[in-house]
Amino acid sequence: MLSLNANELLSLKNLVDSRRPGYGLPRQFYHDELLYQAEIETIWRQGWLFAGHSCQIPNPGDYFLYSVEGDSVIVVRDDDGEVNALYNVCRHRGSVICQEPEGSVRRFICPYHSWTYDRKGQLLLHHGMQDGLDNSQFGLHRAHAREVEGMIFISLAETPVDFDPVYETIAPVAKPQGMPRAKVARIMDFDVASNWKLVWENNRECYHCTVNHPQYVKANFDHYNADDTLPRVAERLKTVTAHLETKLAEQGMYLREETGMTPFPDPDNGIWYAANRTPLVEGYVSETMDGKQVAPLMGDYTDPEVGTLRVRTLPNFWVHASCDHSVAVRLTPNGLTHTSIRMIWLVDGKAQEGRDYDLEKILPFWLLTAEQDWGICTNQQRGVSSHAYTPGPLSTYKEYNLDRFLRWYLQEMKAGLE
Amino acid sequence: MLSLNANELLSLKNLVDSRRPGYGLPRQFYHDELLYQAEIETIWRQGWLFAGHSCQIPNPGDYFLYSVEGDSVIVVRDDDGEVNALYNVCRHRGSVICQEPEGSVRRFICPYHSWTYDRKGQLLLHHGMQDGLDNSQFGLHRAHAREVEGMIFISLAETPVDFDPVYETIAPVAKPQGMPRAKVARIMDFDVASNWKLVWENNRECYHCTVNHPQYVKANFDHYNADDTLPRVAERLKTVTAHLETKLAEQGMYLREETGMTPFPDPDNGIWYAANRTPLVEGYVSETMDGKQVAPLMGDYTDPEVGTLRVRTLPNFWVHASCDHSVAVRLTPNGLTHTSIRMIWLVDGKAQEGRDYDLEKILPFWLLTAEQDWGICTNQQRGVSSHAYTPGPLSTYKEYNLDRFLRWYLQEMKAGLE
Amino acid sequence: MLSLNANELLSLKNLVDSRRPGYGLPRQFYHDELLYQAEIETIWRQGWLFAGHSCQIPNPGDYFLYSVEGDSVIVVRDDDGEVNALYNVCRHRGSVICQEPEGSVRRFICPYHSWTYDRKGQLLLHHGMQDGLDNSQFGLHRAHAREVEGMIFISLAETPVDFDPVYETIAPVAKPQGMPRAKVARIMDFDVASNWKLVWENNRECYHCTVNHPQYVKANFDHYNADDTLPRVAERLKTVTAHLETKLAEQGMYLREETGMTPFPDPDNGIWYAANRTPLVEGYVSETMDGKQVAPLMGDYTDPEVGTLRVRTLPNFWVHASCDHSVAVRLTPNGLTHTSIRMIWLVDGKAQEGRDYDLEKILPFWLLTAEQDWGICTNQQRGVSSHAYTPGPLSTYKEYNLDRFLRWYLQEMKAGLE
């Protein structure tokens, strides 16, 4: 746990209170090492973090590692089919047990002195130790793990906040996508020279889309806001929404007509998780460069016209899913000024590369969008690091979600510093 | 601004008072991160810094960037021909605006959301923002900028010290060199693993020249001091000076006969800027390997025998100029133990490479001298970092300017910590 | 010296008291920068450190450098044949004097202003300085140096602990190896991403040997402990020991029969130095891959059956020597999470590579063992850095020396923080 003296605590509290409403965050939020440590404790070691997809570990013994600020966690499926989150640290001398980022094991055997644990982390063997050692006291330390529709979340908190409302919100909306029966088409990892909050701030507004994401704005309506949804655009959106609503209703799905990005998060009601569908523009059935379907339909879908499924949870996850593929983004802070970002493309579990889909058609849309965003965030980090940076006003038309994100963040920090 | 608690402030004040007169600085001056931060605030964010030459940005819209400890400044010529120093940070979300180190722009357009500023930094456009935003409140933040004879100085201070005395001192001496009508022959950047003060300490004495700079001592007299200016050398210096004084008088220039380096700075009188001429040895008309002229005469010169013009300002600039070219050195601290150094070679604006000059003849003299010095400074940084380092006595014959520099530095720090 | 405020001192004292007896050290011991600085002051700047072998500097003027946390020391043989440890920092401006890691000098001449020192560090010349400078006040600062049987130890302490008991313990046991008449066969340097204590912890137990060092356990008995020295093994050990005792007695050497590693260190009696002989298994006369002799006998040996000589001193040295070669290991902390490790292979001084020995036969045994250990230590450092790491119980059968090391370490730290 972070130990702060009275002066440090006071200075952080003052910092958290220093934001001018309607404006961005002051420089110290992207530059203060102590604040960063407090964020790790308050947000990253308390919240629920997307770790990966359940289809990455379909069988007992399959595992992958996920590290948060140096704490490596083994996400492993056990013999009962349950997902476990075990700290990757031997209970004997503290050696890392799994060194490969993913794999499959019968048992976990520490490479140092061969202490051996089962797939739930229970200690089985410790040859060479004195008698009287109680195995039940030396199982691998555990984090919390939950699955919802093929998305695995973990929490490093001792007593994490209730996950059930998250499950209840996400599961019904995400279910038709069939992620649990999907397969990984591609995983890509990025190191972005930007504070994790800037990545979210960028994600929470599409004010920057027209200039920076030409391919994205061709496929979507959500960069149009109250100020620039011209009558012609409003008419198109109305028509497209009405058409899609009918289609979805047949498949038991739901859509809400709205201009601009769906409001998220909702700090006034403590909401840091969401799932919804949005329409694509006319002629687009998938977020691809030309809008065409590029892989077999996923999950329960019987028709490619399903718009896009969007799931997001703070502080580290969002996914955009079309009828034929989904793209998850996982953020992990890597120091004050860097963020490790993993992107995971899923397709239907039975699809075969070459026969049923071609990565060259699946990847470009979101890879391009992502790399444009990483460039933007890197550039912004350099700017907000300047002593000359002063927070500017946010657009009430186009940056309302960014304001919501900042308010959520400050609320969490305030609570954490109490 | 640097915020220090009472203990930190006291410890810095004690450190600043700890130098034994006539000796070098104690180890902590090259090893204490807090002192370094105080130097940045007290000296680097308060003083006037040489940024570059005006001939680097001859036309409206031409700009180059200069960064000091992460604060990027756009040095740009506006439509009135004035030089502006604008912080390279958008007033909206803080993104860096100019990413290229130099270029030419019609307007500054932020790549994030297209906020648009004119060449003086005034906000012109902010499509997508709510009404009622007062453009005049959101121009780019400004630093101060002044030009003197083709040398651009900026200050990050809110209210910098008066530049007029600097102008009045430098302008008349530098004028004949004609730097405003010059052109860049070459720019080279170095990262030297040495605290910025050691680079100055090295620059302020020629005790090291005989062993380390064989080419320099062939061309100059100033490494001879009161203790080793033998009668034969004194006689030569007298003759050379008398000859050059006559020559210069015809061109309205001035020279003072003296042994050793010209005294600089003058902390007792608050003088951190200077300009003067010194003679070269017999047969040398330019600081080149063989002393021969290697490019057309610059500025108002009508005769190559002009000695060398030397201009220097603390904390970051010196220039050595011969009849045919000038070499500026710009220092920028890059953390406690590194200094970024830029060298700029100028020649007459009308000279053409290949036809009128050849870089292979212009560069070696100062490039060699500089690289010898960077090696010395790196070596010294390693030594003074040792716990075994104790400051030694300075030579009263040969290191009087180093003593002056240290006294100037301590005086500035003392004032800054009041 | 390290300056700690009252809170820092208290927190370090509490940390040092926080170990649960019989368990490993808590995470902060491998993660706290302040503790590391205290270790440097208390242990590394106070203790005796193995620097190198005397055969590396056989003649007057021969030197090598050894750096501890940025403090470079010149270990040089003077004209009287004595070894001197001189700080590599000029007394004038603090420049590093010797830049090459080893060499031979007539005098030490500072490359900056040519201040000149003799091989004992006395200042001889300082051309260019004012009169009245007392040379005797400006000799190079000195560390302490002692030689024992070809092993050079230095201490950076003002008044180091008495070295005589170390000498008296090591000299008679090591003498037959003849290290002073040896020559360097090979020096290799490693940077291991592990705190220095983990390297010692690994060195102080052979619990990990069976799985990690297959070649080592073929040659040695000391990985067998009270719990797994089966009757058959005990019988073999007894036979081998009896045979070797007789052989050694003829040569005036001594061996003690025991199971497991020789107890070391002995914190209850303040013992941080040791030397002893251990038997090799049947058929092995040297710690080589096949147990065969691979170089001429060293020192006074007349028979290859001498077991292995082992010398070790805390905090930075151990050596394993067979009849024909010796392998020294020197540790140096390189920050909190890195250790610089030098390995030095010696053979008889008259042996010639190619004719009398072949590096490909000498190096593999210990190089393999070392690299296996460096991998283990790196892996452990990653694990103990996790917030999830909690110290585990040590094996009373197999990790008793590790426990001794930890107790020695805590005792030193406790004393240093008084």
Q: Is B114 on the interface with A (CB under 8 A)?
A: yes
Are B393 and C99 within 8 A, CB to CB? no
C117 touches chain A (CB under 8 A): no
The whole-number average pLDDT for the span A239-259 is 88
- C388:A133 CB<8 A: no
CB within 8 Å of chain C, chain B residues 243-262:
none
Which residues in chain B are closer than 8 Å to C70, comparing Cβ atoms? 382, 385-387
Question: Is the CB of residue B88 less than 8 Å away from at least one CB of chain A?
Answer: yes
State the DSSP code for C40.
I
CB contact under 8 A, A87 and C386: yes
CB contact under 8 A, A138 and C380: no
Residues composing chain A:
418
Task: Name which of C36, C40, C33, C23 is nearest C389 in CA terms.
Answer: C23
Q: For residue C418, which of C31, C38, C21, C24 has the smallest C-alpha distance?
A: C38
Nearest Cβ partner of B128 from A227, A379, A392?
Answer: A227
For residue A195, give the 3-state DSSP assignment. coil
Q: Which residues of chain A are within 8 Å of residue B114 when distances are taken between CB atoms?
A: 211
For chains B and C, count residue pairs whose Cβ atoms are closer than 8 Å.
84
Chain B contact partners (≥3 CB pairs within 8 A) = A, C
Question: How many A/B residue pairs have CB atoms within 8 Å?
Answer: 82
Kindly provide the ipTM of the predicted complex, given to two decimals: 0.95
Contact C380 A129 (CB under 8 A): no
Q: Measure in Å the smallest separation between the Cα of C95 and chain B Cα atoms.
A: 4
- Smallest Cβ–Cβ distance between B395 and the set C97, C130, C138 belongs to C130
Residues of chain B found within 8 Å of residue A398, distances taken between Cβ atoms: 128
Contact B382 C96 (CB under 8 A): yes
pLDDT band at C157 (very low <50, low <70, confident <90, very high): very high
Q: Is A383 on the interface with B (CB under 8 A)?
A: yes
User: Residue C168, SS3?
Assistant: helix
pLDDT at A248: 92
- In this prediction, residue B1 carries a pLDDT of 53
What's the gap in Å between the CA of B396 and the closest CA on chain C? 6
Measured between CB atoms, does B218 come within 8 Å of chain A? no
**C214 inside 8 A of chain A by CB:** no
3-class secondary-structure state, position A192: strand
Q: C331-389 pLDDT, tens per residue?
A: 999 999 999 999 999 999 999 999 999 999 999 999 999 999 999 999 999 999 999 99
Q: Which of B225, B380, B388 sits opposite C93 (nearest CB)?
A: B380
Is C132's Cβ below 8 Å from some Cβ in B?
A: no
Q: What is the mean pLDDT of chain C?
A: 96
- Taking the CA of residue B339 and the nearest CA in chain C, the distance in Å comes to 17
Identify the band that residue C256 occupies on the pLDDT scale cut at 50, 70 and 90: confident
Q: Which residues of B touch C92 (CB under 8 A)?
A: 392-393
CB contact under 8 A, A129 and C393: yes
Q: Is B397 on the interface with C (CB under 8 A)?
A: yes
B205: nearest CA partner in chain C: C113
Query: What is the nearest CA distance from A258 to chain B, expressed in angstroms?
Result: 18
CA distance C93 to chain B (A): 6
The answer to whether the CB of B295 falls within 8 A of the CB of B362 is yes
What's the pLDDT at A1?
54
- Closest chain B residue by Cα to residue C67: B386
Chains in touch with A (≥3 Cβ pairs < 8 A): B, C
Stated pTM of the model? 0.95
HEC sequence for chain B: CCCCCHHHHHHHHHHHCCCCCCECCCHHHHCCHHHHHHHHHHHHCCCEEEEEEHHHCCCCCEEEEEEECCEEEEEEECCCCCEEEEECCCCCCCCCCCCCCEEECCCEECCCCCCEECCCCCEEECCCCCCCCCHHHCCCCEEEEEEECCEEEEECCCCCCCCHHHHHHHHHHHHHHCHHHEEEEEEEEEEECCCHHHHHHHHCCCCCHHHHCHHHHHHECCCCCCCCCCHHHHHHHHHHHHHHHHHHHHCCCCCCCCCCCCCCCEHHHCECEEEEEECECCCCCCCCCCCCCCCCCCCCCCCCCCCEEEEEECCCEEEEECCCCEEEEEEEECCCCCEEEEEEEEEECCCCECCCECHHHHCHHHHHHHHHHHHHHHHHHHHHCCCCCCCCECCCCCCHHHHHHHHHHHHHHHHHHC
Q: Quick check: A116 contacting C, CB < 8 Å?
A: no
Contact list, A97 vs chain C (CB under 8 Å): 383
Amino acid identity for residue A209 in this structure: C
A211-221 tens-digit pLDDT: 999 999 999 99
Contact C93 B211 (CB under 8 A): no
Inform me whether the pLDDT recorded for C255 exceeds 90: no
Among the partner-chain residues A7, A208, A386, the one whose CB lies closest to the CB of B70 is: A386
- CB-CB under 8 Å, B382 with C128: no
Residue pLDDT, tens place only, A354-387: 999 999 999 999 999 999 999 999 999 999 999 9
Q: Give A352 to chain C, closest Cα distance, Å.
A: 38
Mean pLDDT over A148-176 rounds to 98
B270 contact C CB<8A:
no
Q: CB contact, 8 Å: C336 with chain A? A: no
Look at residue B259 in the predicted model and tell me its pLDDT: 84
Q: Is the confidence at residue A26, as pLDDT, over 90?
A: yes
- Nearest chain C alpha carbon to A3: C11
Say yes or no: A343 contacts chain C, CB-CB below 8 A. Answer: no
Q: Looking at CA atoms only, how far is residue B93 from chain A in angstroms?
A: 6
Coil, helix or strand for C214?
helix
Q: What is the pLDDT of residues C83-108, one digit of tens each?
A: 999 999 999 999 999 999 999 999 99
Hey, are the CB atoms on C89 and B389 less than 8 Å from each other? yes
**The pLDDT of residue B2:** 67
- Identify whether the C-beta of residue C211 lies closer than 8 Å to the C-beta of residue A113: yes
Strand ranges inside C156-303, DSSP E: 182-192, 273-278
Query: Is B24 in the C-facing interface, judged by CB distances under 8 Å?
Result: yes
Dihedrals phi, psi of C135, to nearest 5 degrees: -50, -35
- Chain B partners within 8 Å of A207 (Cβ): 113, 128
Q: In chain A, whose CA is at the least distance from the CA of C7?
A: A5
A130: chain C residues, CB-CB within 8 Å: 395-397
Alpha-carbon distance A25 to C253, whole Å? 75
Residue spans of chain B under pLDDT 50: none
